[in-house]
Amino acid sequence: MAKEATYTVLARKWRPRQFDDVVGQTHVTDTLKNAIQTGRIAHAYLFVGPRGIGKTSIARILAKALNCERGPTITPCDKCDSCKEVAEGRSMDVLEIDGASNNKVEDIQNLRETVKYLPARDRFKIYVIDEVHMLTSSAFNALLKTLEEPPPHVKFIFATTEPQKILPTIVSRCQRFDLSRIPVALIVQRLSDIAKAEKVDVDQNALTAVARGAEGGLRDAESALDQLISFTGGKIVEEDVLSVFGLISAQALVEMVDAILNGDVPVLMTKVAAIDHAGKDLQRLGIDLLSYFRNLLVMTYSSNAIDGVDVLADEAEILKRQAKMTSPERLLKIADILIEADGRLRYALSKRTLLEVALIRCARMGSTMTIDEIVAQIDKLKNHLWAPGAVAARPASRPDPVAKRAPEFEAKAVVKVPAQVCEPADEGVRQDSVVKKVPAAADVGDEVALLRGKWRSIVDGVEKSAPLAKSAILDACPMSIEDDVVVIGFDPEFAAHMKRMDIPRHSLALRGELKSVLGRDVRIICRLLKPGEVVKLPADVPAAVESAAKQTPPVETRKAGAQKATEARKTTAEWMREDAVRKTIDMFDGEIVDVRE
């Protein structure tokens, strides 16, 4: 009876046999080839990297290259006895040792006893120790001296997935090579070549799904392809990959990310329900979403950052489109939510509920404006309002509106105002709108007196809608009314208070109170008083207002008390000139209470 042929799995059948066959590790193979060609072969090598990326394969190729009959050579013949025995793992001079099961100090002592003997046939005696991090500290220490000064005929090759567990004294005696995860595109190309050689019809989307599920490990991808061939019998499509390995389709991920960025919670809930009913791994869904948002975050900083994301060309175009829909700040917060959910999913009784709550939070975060975006919108609005041709045109030198009145208003009326008001305003003046109406000159004086007489009650009214504005205008006084523009004067000692009137809430509250007194909408201009410019309440102030004024310390008294805190005020004024401080105060309607070192 004829002996049946033994089937060889794809991962072993298609194992690299030459340096050029290794996928995605050119930085390692090129270095080793150059070392062989120049005769600079080290006595110990350490290959580091995750599973299934070629550590052991490179170790075997290196062993063949050193012991080949034509060697040392960068292209082993694979025909001599030495190459065949190394490839089959039965060479007497190339010893492969499992570090997990031979990790005791006694095992290393036995190894040291065999090191001194010459090779049985080949050029070098090579020790390949896989998972070397499993050795105990005593075993490592027993190996130190031999590893540092081995006999000329001995070479050590170590492989590990956890280099942090290896003693630094061991690492320092080796040439270390860090192998990287294999990109998706290279895995897809390798699987496509294998499928053609095996005469298997595989859909491109199926290969992409297999490569994505392998997470950079070519051996895992080859094993998955082997399993799919057994499952389908020769024709593989994406649905087969998703059903066998419980993965989520790339299109479903794109649709879920679009829903998160658009804040579309119903679509998200529908997708999660369909995935759960299909029996998919919800924790794997969370990991896939986190990886997707990581790629999207890299893409938001640069649309050309293709090297930073492990995706195919068509997927990169989708990422570019989605990157325009969001900002890095949102993506960082979404990533934080997904990371937190991933840590809790493994212990959750209801994974679906936890994941749904996390995705709802992500959707809200994806459609909620950040503080930076709000500030940017406010700045944009301010620039628009002050732009040439807008309703309120901002002059470069900020002159007093009375001094630069439009020609069409000059023909209607001539307004006489006090001399100190007609002077050009200094840097403290702010123009809120254009002139609309010119009241009669006789009415102006009456209205100014009216406002001064009721100023205390106006201040109290402002306090009700903007409490923090009271202290800003308490020491101020109406100076003039011109063309529906009320000029408010501030003592130079309280310049910081005038700055607070730039806050929209404060100015709106004061305008509302002025409207209730004057009977019409007005705009406000704030300016600092000139030296010697003294403002007093009129003699005919109503009794109630005069009584309230008496209860409030006069300006001179407050100035004397404020003089004691001159340095503190200067420090506050300096902080008020900082853009970040002003934006924060504007955003939250706040004020600087104290400055501390």
DSSP state at residue 412:
T
Q: 226: which residues sit within 8 A by CB, 6+ positions away?
A: 9, 10, 11
From residue 532, give the alpha-carbon distance in Å to each of 190, 226, 564: 87, 94, 21
* Residues constituting the chain: 597
Contact 78, 49 (CB under 8 A): no
Q: How many CA atoms lie within 13 A of 446 on its CB side?
A: 7
CA distance 125 to 376: 68
Q: Which range is most confident: 128-142, 221-235, 416-430, 442-456?
A: 128-142
Q: Which helix (H) or strand (E) holds 487?
A: strand 485-490
Topology (CATH level 3) of domain 10-178: Rossmann fold (3.40.50)
Question: What is the number of H-type helices and E-type strands within the chain?
Answer: 29, 10
Task: Encode burial over 175-201: b for 16+ CB neighbours within 10 A, e otherwise.
Answer: bebebebbbbeebbebbeebbeeeebe
Name the average pLDDT for the chain: 79
Residue 159: what pLDDT? 94
CATH fold label, 184-245: Helicase, Ruva Protein; domain 3 (1.10.8)
Question: 379 or 502: whose pLDDT is higher?
Answer: 502
8 A C-beta contact, residue 408 and residue 438: no
Burial string for 73-105 (b: 16+ CB within 10 Å, else e) reads ebebeeebebbebbbeeebebbebbebeebbeb
Predicted pLDDT at 498: 83
In a 3-state reduction of DSSP, which class is residue 46? strand
What CATH number should be reported for the domain whose range is 415-588?
3.30.300.180
Assign domain 250-367 to a CATH class: mainly alpha
pLDDT in tens, 251-305: 889 999 999 998 889 999 999 999 888 888 888 899 989 989 998 888 888 766 5
Of the listed ranges 313-322, 401-410, 586-595, the least confidently predicted one is 401-410
Domain ranges of the chain: 10-178, 184-245, 250-367, 415-588
The type of residue at 423 is E
Pairing state between β 175-178 and 201-202: unpaired
Max mean pLDDT among 16-20, 389-393, 486-490, 583-587 falls in 16-20
On the question of pLDDT at 311 being above 80, the answer is no
Q: How confident is the model over 25-80, as pLDDT tens digits?
A: 999 999 999 999 999 999 999 999 999 999 999 999 999 999 999 879 999 998 99
> For 287-296, 369-378, 417-426, 502-511, which range has the lowest pLDDT when averaged over its residues?
417-426
Tokens of 481: 């009314």
What is d(CA 79, CA 72) in angstroms, rounded to the nearest whole number? 15
- The yes-or-no verdict on residue 551 having pLDDT over 60 is no
- Tens-digit pLDDT profile for residues 206-254: 898 898 888 889 999 999 999 888 888 778 888 888 888 888 888 889 9
Q: E strand or H helix at 486, and its extent? A: strand 485-490
DSSP class per residue in 133-177:
GGS-HHHHHHHHHHHHS--TTEEEEEEES-GGGS-HHHHTTSEEE
